[in-house]
Amino acid sequence: MSLNRLEIDRSARLNGGLHKPLAAIVNSGKLYFNQSMIHSMKTRSILNVAVSLCMTTWIEAAAPQGQASNPLIFADVPDMAMLRVGDTYYMSSTTMHMSPGLPIMRSKDLVNWSLASYAYDKLDDVDELNLVNGKSSYGHGSWASSLRYYRGTFVVTTFAQTTGKTHIYTTQDVDKGPWKAISFKPALHDHSLFFDDDGRVYMLGGGGDLRLVELADNLSGIKLGGFDQVVIHNASGAAGPNVGLPAEGSQLLKHDGKYYVFNICWPKGGMRTTLIHRADKITGPYEGRVALQDQGVAQGSLIDTPNGDWFAYLFQDHGAVGRIPYLVPVKWEDGWPVLGVNGKIPETLNLPASVGPMPGIVASDEFGREAAKPALPLVWQWNHNPDNSLWSVKVHPGFLRLTTGRVDGDFLQARNTLTQRTFGPESAAITLVEVSHLKEGDFAGLGLLQKNYGLLGVRAEGSGKVLVMVNAGAGQPNEVERVPLKQDKVYLKAECDFRNRADKARFFYSLEGRSWTSIGDSLKMSYTIPHFMGYRFGLFNYATKTTGGYAEFDFFRLADKLVDFK
């Protein structure tokens, strides 16, 4: 039984086959080689070809023998919305102030996911999203999404406090697009789009009191004279009277003729809790109950497999790495979905084992590009809308060039910081940066982006340059250590330890790419609401005195093991 017969066209035939190029070379994308190999021109040539191919083509790696385990993805993939089209699963998620945004991911097994596309390059062209005039969209931008497939068209929706609008994107080709954009006011909070059997279109959302509004047939806005009422009053009441966070994060589905609304609440003194309400009619009345209360895993909905198994996809707040997805088995009893095993989340699942997040949602990059390939693979997102005139992978082939175009006060104000997710339980990133063209006051290097950030970079000062480690773990940036640099190239490394929620990071540098020296102190990473996002690796260059200087990054390499972490 599908989640919504009108959403899922089981006879759909999707374009774009599966490709597995150079699998032996990239070893599922884990391109972390012995340091002596960095200097090998032959190795560099192989890497350029392998990474270029793997980063621009969807790779479905064969899952290893064994079972999947929770968490499903140990990385920041919050507010998931999911659907199945035939034997292929699709998932959207929140990336807020990042650009491009509203990622669409794909899987054949519900476990191993690859990025297929983004619904938008820019959510809007406003100061907050452009990171200009002292304004930012940290913690805002686009929030929880809804994902549907209706009559051959993918429809993904979101809303944004930044714009005050509800945003809808449609395409018939999730890989190639184009995505058609529609927006209207107001911003319907945490809404769920729903195409009903009678052809009417609705959004259900809100916080505490959940409102159902009818949309125009062309999705251009709320239908004049259409249905518009609160259909569930005090949805949090299903969890008892001790309400903390009111019920939100709604997802609406239909199964065996009944309507089901999934959302979350957070009782005072308790944990995130999954709620379900059901009704015979979409307009109600609804009855509700607690669906799951375990480990704070909540917010999501249901997904079925082609062979009839059911799962709930939910997320957990997991410290500095962010909000991470879980899968929970589901059985239907007396017209209700029953989540978990005896009310608990199992450690293992009867699904293929995970190969890890590389290269599906994070990946190494040698910055070598074939002419027909995109300038940046989908794993990359800019911190806010970029200024595209100030970066390039073509001016110096095989290198990412970041040029300064304005003077900024600090890392969080800097435009054109290029980011990827950190991931757990351990992750590390290495880059080689060339700094001969920095101008006085420029600062370029490798960062860990969140409000309480950490940086390791090269600052141009007077007639020389200095390596600087900055620690903002206590809320304010503190320059911890400086080391004079007498050469124009330096290797930088950041290592993140999320084991047992340690949430610690260290930075290292190397002058020749073989031996590493720790610099500064340990960064205590903190998930903060002002950013509302897990830490991200970031390549940056910003000016503090004059513009026009540039840094060039030779490569960006990821590992899922720590080498020098102490």
| Residues whose CB is less than 8 angstroms from the CB of residue 515 and which lie 6 or more positions away in sequence, other chains included | none
Burial profile 152-179: b = 16 or more Cβ within 10 angstroms, e = fewer: eebbbbbbbebbebbbbbbbeebeeeeb
Find, among 352, 260, 317, the residue nearest to 501 by Cα. Answer: 317
pLDDT at 243: 78
- Measured between alpha carbons, how far is 30 from 38 in angstroms, rounded to an integer? 15
Q: Within 10 Å of residue 26's Cβ, how many Cβ atoms?
A: 24
pLDDT at 521: 97
Percent of the chain past pLDDT 70, that is, above it, reads 88
3-state secondary structure 296-365: CCEEEEEEECCCCCEEEEEEEECHHHCEEEEEEEEEEECCEEEECECCECCCEECCCCCCCCCCCCCCCE
CA 393 to chain centre: 23
> Do 398 and 124 form a contact (C-beta atoms < 8 A)?
no
User: Residue 65: is its pLDDT beyond 70?
Assistant: no
> Do 451 and 469 form a contact (C-beta atoms < 8 A)?
no
pLDDT at 49: 34
pLDDT at 37: 36
- Measured between alpha carbons, how far is 105 from 113 in angstroms, rounded to an integer? 6
User: Residue 527: is its pLDDT beyond 50?
Assistant: yes
pLDDT at 32: 34
- Measured between alpha carbons, how far is 144 from 315 in angstroms, rounded to an integer? 12
Average pLDDT over residues 27-56: 35
Q: Within 10 Å of residue 558's Cβ, how many Cβ atoms?
A: 25
User: Residue 464: is its pLDDT beyond 50?
Assistant: yes
Question: What is the set of domains in the chain, with CATH numbers?
Answer: 69-349 (2.115.10.20), 381-559 (2.60.120.200)
3-state secondary structure 60-92: CCCCCCCCEECCCCCECCCCCEEEEECCEEEEE
Residue 133 amino acid letter = N
Q: Kindly report, residue by residue over 400-446, the tens digit of the pLDDT.
A: 999 999 999 999 999 999 999 999 999 999 999 999 999 999 999 99
- Measured between alpha carbons, how far is 184 from 179 in angstroms, rounded to an integer? 17
Q: Compute the mean pLDDT over every residue in the chain, rounded to the nearest whole number.
A: 89
Helix (H) or strand (E) holding 44: helix 41-56
Q: Is 389 helix (H, G, I), strand (E, B) or coil?
A: helix
Q: Kindly report, residue by residue over 334-360, the tens digit of the pLDDT.
A: 999 999 999 999 999 999 999 999 999
User: DSSP labels for 212-259?
Assistant: EEEEPTTSSSBPTTS-EEEEETTGGGGG-S--SEEEEEEEEEEETTEE
pLDDT at 476: 96
- Confidence band (pLDDT; 50, 70, 90) for 18? very low
Please, which residues bridge with residue 302 across strands? 312
- Measured between alpha carbons, how far is 228 from 283 in angstroms, rounded to an integer? 10
